[in-house]
Each structure stands twice: as structure tokens, then as C-alpha cells.
Structure 1
Amino acid sequence: MMTKALKGTLAAAAGIAVSLSGVAAAQAQDEGGDVGTLAAGDVSLEEGIRLNGQSQSPEATMISLDLGEGDFRTVYCIQIEVGLLEDNHHEERPWEDIPVEQLPLVLGVLVNGYNGTNAADLIEAAGVSGEDLEGFSADQVAYAGTQAAIWSLTDGWVIEADSTEGGAGVDTAVSTIQQYLIDSSEPVDEPDFEPYFEVDDSEATTEGTTVGPFTVSTNLDALTFGQPEGATIVDENGDEVTSFEDGQSFYVEFAEEQSGTVSLVTDSVTWTTPAGRTFVPVDADGADVEGQRLILAESHTEEYAAEVEFEFVVEEAPSESPKPELPVTGSSLTTVASIGGGVLLAGVVALVLMRRRRAASNWGSEA
């Protein structure tokens, strides 16, 4: 009698950019261009509240950035001494490329601060819901207080007692929100710069027609799929599985004891760009130019089509041998869906993402 020992090989070695703007990256991929840079669009400005500080008195202009197809999201300035280039497109850059300190604390402020939709909640949390805003909107006040907190962290900016161009009620509301955010916020690490989907096969073996367990590690919000031909994806109880989430274990149950390729084509994959992503102005050629850096205050969810492909090579081994396990190959049998193309490590799973359609953000927008 013979048992089966499992070997894994890569079925596909391709990745495609999951972009904030989507359109630019998808076009670049179709045309064979570079999709490693995430492009954003135009800056939109709305009148804010002028703040009074010991060094300077800037206006907390309410800024939003087009993340694709006219989907504007709230952003903040993170360099008080640098001018905003409102006519330039902006592109995303990792924190290591941003010449600004205290970004973990800034993101901590954004977690609790004004994100474009929660002005009333922030004003109440800060304890200033009874203040007279004297014609200014709750959004303007909440934005000004959040921007003041950010500048105090990034630039050491100190607000005056007479903190705004408004009267006593506005002064109290803005300065109290600023202090509330400073006092209640903890540092937050940089969010993921790209989506990933990994499968840990370190405990996988094959018994008859069943291979596994495999464990999913991902920052994707959702990945659902239909059952493939010639195999069924199941859980530890043998029940069918039609979606993956972070930390989930699964098995592949083949129709026959033979080598096989399993392809899972999903209806959609959703990926949320979290708050804290940073953007820089660029020129017409996409080169960075000196100007105000911006930080995203709102999460941003996109929906994609995706194909996840598994390939298993099953070889016969003597029945008296120990329970078969995956052979040591010297490299991880895990692949990652990453920004851009390129050669992936040998492994048992490859994830290819392609932009499908926009999904509503997780804070309830229907845009």
C-alpha cells in the first residue's frame, strides 16, 4: 500500500497593483506600465477657521483629496511651514519617505479626530457641545481642532489662548478639541502600504484525497469564491468553505488521489485603505516636488475581482514512512499578493487582483 507525500509548486507568479485611485493603476497595468506608485488626484478646499498661534496664525482650511473617480476624502496638512500645492496631483508615499516626525502620534489623533463624518460625536466627546459656534459649522470646528492637534505634534506649534478668529465659544471648542485629542491618543503604527494574502502550509499533509491544513493570513476585508472543479475547499469538520478571512484554516479535498491544480475565482475581494496613508505633490512627470504633505483621515474601501490559484504535486512514498509532511525546500511555501508585478517565491498559492468596481467605504458612504 502506498501513501502520498505532498509537494507544492507555484501555479502563477503575477501580482497587480491594488491602487487607491484604481483607474490610473489599472490603465498602467493594461499598458505594461509601472503600477508601483499609487496615484491620487486633485485637492479640494473649503473655507475653514483661522487659528492664532505663537509662531504663526494659519487657516485650518478643510482639505480633501480625490482618491479616484471623484471620491474625495478628508486629509490634513502635516507641515505647517510648507505651502499647499493645490493645483498639483498627489501620490501616495510610505512614511519613510515623508520628512515629518511624530506620524504614529498623528495617526493616533486621526483615530479619535474628525474624519469628515463625525463632527458631532467629536464635539460631544470633547465636552464642548454646548458652546456657541457663532456661525461656524460643527465640521469646521472639528476639523480646526484636529488640525491644531496635528500641527502641535508635527511642528511644535503652540496655540494662543485667543485661539481662533471667532469668539469665546469657538475658541473654547477648538482648543478643547485639540487638547482632548492630544490627551486621549496613543501612537499607532503605519498602516499596511499594500494588501497581502498569505497561506501558511507548515502543517499541511496529504491523507488520501485531502490536503491540509492551510492557514490564511491577510489584511483583505473579504474574499469569497465558488468551489473549484475537481476539488472542494472544506474546514476541519469537512464542511464546505466559500470565503477566507484572516487566521482561517482550510483543507483541499480532491475528487481523486492524483496531482491537481485548484483555481478559485472570486466574485470580489474588498480591500480597505486605512487612515494614515500619506501623499506628496508631484509634477506632470510624476516626480516629487516640494510642497505640503497630506495625511488621509478616512478609510477608503475598494472592490476587486480576483483569482487565487493553488497547485499541488502529490508523489507516492512508502507506507511505512512517517506521516508525510511538506518537504523542506529552503524557502517559504507562501506567496504574497503585492503591489506591482515581479517574480514571487516558490509556493502553493498565488493571488492575482484586478480592479472590479468601487465599494462603499466602511463608514457608510454610498459613493
Structure 2
Amino acid sequence: MMTKALKGTMAAAAGIALGLTGVAAAQAQEEEAPSTLAAGNVIIEDGGIQLYGEADGVGKKPHASMIALDMGDGEYRTVYCIQLNVNLEEQYLHEERPWDDVPVEDLPMVLGVLLEGYDGTNADELLEAAGVASDDYGDVTADQLAYAATQSAVWSLTDGWVLDTTDPTENDVADAIVPAVQDYILENAEPVDEPELEPRFDVDDSQSKTEGTTVGPFTVETNVDAINFSQPEGATIVDENGEELTSLSDGQVFYVKFDEAKTSTVTLVTDTFTWTTPAGRTFVPVDENGADVEGQRLILAEEHTEEYTAEVEFEITVEEVPSESPKPQLPVTGSSLTTVASIGGAVLLAGVVSLVLMRRRRAAANWGSDA
């Protein structure tokens, strides 16, 4: 006997890489060398506040300079230094690296600090939460204070940095505020795992079965915020209530409702997808040949959400396969997908997902220093 079943698996194309400012094109599966996820030039937005203290028992007077990465899209991303005893190499392009390639300890707690601290936009809220907000900060700004406190908290984890208890900064107002905000951040921070650096899209088909011309349920498992699509020819993507869907996100349950019961294939093509680049991504300086240079490593402090143009081909194929053993069935006329239900729910999602993504130019390297 022959019964109709969905056969196969779904897998994301290899080498999908998403930078802070755009999406790199999917690499061919046979390509071995991984692409750089993101790169940018260091920008010192403000000289910041000078701190006084010790690192590993040695006196230090570092500036908590307010640093950002220029990713080439007209916007700067707030970053922090995670190596106090190494110089900041402004003249080099900085490329993203996974945590395993960054010689810095306690990065989970550093990310926890960033999520509690200043991300480039929330100075007033942070100072208010720490109980030190004011209408007048004298010669310094709320942003400088919030950044300095967060940078000091980061260095306390990465370099054993300790603020001077009697004279912690160069500024009288900052003397009272920076230690208090640092204490607030460290008291509330909890370790956070390394963020995912690439978009991921998968489907759980373990509960799938076929009823009439409808196949499902399928449950989306993804770290992409939302994938928007147009309905395919020959079928309709619907939710558990039979309502048409135009977007898929993590946890979304969907069904495929075929126009007619027959062996067929439908292709779902996306229009756009939305991705949030997470805080906690780390960057290292590189020379013109792409080789790592000794210099301060940087860590991204802010999330950034953007919509990207994409084309995702999602094929679902119904094909004839032999049943494992003869099973009784009611008389039927013509071809019907209801026979799939007789195989006891062993219905699999079929197809291949191929993401062909728009490549934006990587941020241009600035091999000379503008500082």
C-alpha cells in the first residue's frame, strides 16, 4: 500500500552572517572560512571623566573616555574597553570575535553589568535608579557620569580595578555619583551567556499530522524577531484558528493548508525579517591584512533592531512513500491527504530553507588615525 506523507528535514543554509549594520550573503556550504560578522572604526565621542584608583595593586588614572564604533551606517554604537592595561588602538579597524577568541575573563558578568548600566541612551534612568539623579551636575553631564560608572564596573571585573575611596575621580560631583552608580550596577548585575551572533530559524514538527488538506502543527524556533512573507501558491499558511499568517516569530504555531489533496510542493518566499543585534558582542583591532593587533578589546553595550530585505525559500513537499506495514483503511475515492493520518503522526516537515540575504558593505577601514 502507498500512503502520502511529508518526508525530509529542514535546515538553515550554512554561513549566514549578520553584522550590526546589515546582513552578509549566505555562503556556499562548501566554503570553509567563516566571514567576519561585523566591523567598525573606533570613535571617541567624549573625553569622559578621569578615574583614580588601582588595578592589581598598581596605581592608575585612566580616562573613562566615551567610546563608540562607527559601523558605516551613519550611527554609532556605544562600546566599553575590557582591557585596562592595554592601549586603545584607534587607528585600526575593529572586527567582531566570539568570546572564546577574546583573552578576557568574566565576560558573562561583564554583559550583566552592561545590561544594568549605561547603553548610550539611558543615563537619566540609570542615575534615578541609583538614587543620585539631580537637576545640576555642574561641569559634567549625566551621560559622562553614567558611562564612567559603567566603565569602572566593567574594569572591576576584567582588571581588578578598585576606585580610590577618598578621591575616586577628577571631579567633585563625580566623586559622589560614580561610586554610587557603580555599586548599584554591580549589586544588580547577574551573569549572562554569550549572545547568539547569527540568525537561526528552525521548525519543530514532532506533533505534526495531516487532516484533510491541512498539515501541522509546526512550531517555529528562531532568534529572529519576525519573518514576514507572502502566501505561497497552492497553499495557505494559517494559525491554529485557521486565520492567515503574514509573519512567523519564535514560538509561533502554524499549519500548511493545501488548495487540494494531491502530491505537491509549495514554496514560501519571505519579504523581510527583523533582527535585534544583542549587547555583549566583542571586537578586536586588526591590521590591513586582517590579523589581530595587540590593543584594547571592546564590548558592545546596546541592542539595535533593524528590518532587513531577505529571500527565504521554504519548500514543503508531499510525496508518495510506502507505509511501514499494511493498515486497514476506509474506502476512499480519489487522492486524499487524510490517509496520512493513518501513519500514526509520523509526519515530517520536508524541504530546504535557503536564506539569500542582501550584503551591505562592511564598514570601510580607516587605516590612519583621526585622533
Q: TM-score, normalised by structure 2?
A: 0.83
**Does the 8 A contact of 2:88 with 2:296 survive in 1?**
yes
The structure whose Rg is larger is: 2
1:312-351 alignment to 2 at 5 Å?
312-315=317-320, 317=323, 320=328, 323-324=342-343, 348-351=351-354
Matched, 1:354 2:353: no
SS of residue in 2 equivalent to 1:268? strand
Residues 47 and 61 of structure 1 are in contact (CA less than 8 Å); yes or no, is this contact kept in structure 2? yes
Q: Does 274-283 or 8-17 show the bigger shift? A: 8-17
Aligned residue type for 2:171: G
Indicate the RMSD between aligned Cα atoms, in angstroms: 2.8
Please give the TM-score of this superposition, normalised by the length of structure 1.
0.84
Does residue 267 (structure 1) correspond to residue 275 (structure 2)? The answer is no
Q: How do 1:112-151 residues align onto structure 2 when only pairs under 5 Å count? A: 112-130=116-134, 133-151=137-155
State the secondary structure of the residue aligned to 2:125.
helix
Whether 2:17 is the aligned partner of 1:17: answer yes
Report 1:230-309 matches (<5 A): 230-304=234-308, 305-309=310-314
Cα displacement (A) at 1:130 = 3.2
Superposed counterparts of 1:127-276, under 5 Å: 127-130=131-134, 133-161=137-165, 162-167=167-172, 169-276=173-280
Q: Deviation string for 1:49-86 (max 9, x for gaps)?
A: 10001231100000000233232110000110111111
Q: CA deviation at 1:3?
A: 5.0
Cα displacement string for residues 280-319 of structure 1 (whole angstroms, at most 9, x for unaligned residues): 1111111211111000001122322231412323326566
SS of the residue 1:42 aligns to: strand
1:44 aligns with 43
**Identity between Structure 1 and Structure 2 (%):** 60
Displacement of 1:204? 1.6
Matched-pair contact (CA < 8 Å) for 2:41–2:93: yes
Change (3 A) 1:132 1:165: farther
Q: CA distance change for structure 1 residues 238 and 177 in 2, over 3 Å: closer, same or farther?
A: same
Deviates more, 1:33-42 or 1:178-187: 33-42
Provide Cα deviations, 1:218-268, integer angstroms capped at 9, x if missing partner: 111111111100001112222212111111111111112223222222221
Q: Relative to 1, partners in 2 of residues 1:67 and 1:12: Cα closer, same or farther, differing over 3 Å? A: closer
Structure-2 separation of matches of 1:291 and 1:156? 18
Contact 2:18 / 2:38 at 8 angstroms: preserved in 1?
no
C-alpha contact (below 8 Å) 2:15/2:34 kept by paired residues: no
Indicate if the aligned counterparts of 2:269 and 2:311 stay in contact, CA closer than 8 A.
Answer: yes
Q: Quick one: structure 1 residues 15 and 289, their matched pair in 2 at CA, closer, same or farther if it must change by over 3 Å?
A: closer
Unaligned runs of at least 5 residues, structure 1: 335-346, 358-367
Instruction: Tell me, in whole angstroms, the C-alpha distance in 2 between the residues paired with 1:181 and 1:121.
Output: 12
Task: Find the counterpart in structure 2 of residue 81 from structure 1.
Answer: 85
SS at match of 2:183: helix
SS of 1:158's equivalent in the other structure is strand
Q: Which letter maps to 2:182?
A: Q
User: 1:306-358: per-residue Cα shift (whole Å, max 9, x none)?
Assistant: 31412323326566277325759xxxx78xxxxxxxxxxxx53414141389x
Note the alpha carbon deviations across 1:181-202, whole angstroms, 9 max, x for none: 1111111111112110111112
Q: Does the CA contact (< 8 Å) of 1:131 and 1:170 recur in 2? A: no
Regions of 4+ moved over 3 Å: 9-16, 25-29, 32-35, 316-319, 325-328
Aligned-partner Cα distance in 1 for 2:345–2:356: 27
1:364 is matched with none
1:69–1:26 CA distance, 2 compared to 1 (3 A): farther
Deviations 1:110-142 (A, max 9, x none): 111111111111111111113853211111111
> Letter of the aligned partner of 1:323 in structure 2?
S
Residues 79 and 301 in structure 2, CA contact (< 8 A), matched pair in contact too: yes
Residue identity matched to 2:48? G
Report the CA distance between 1:20 and its aligned residue.
2.2
Q: What is the deviation of 1:6?
A: 2.3
Change (3 A) 1:12 1:176: closer
Alpha-carbon spacing, 1:296–1:14, altered in 2? closer, same or farther (3 Å): closer
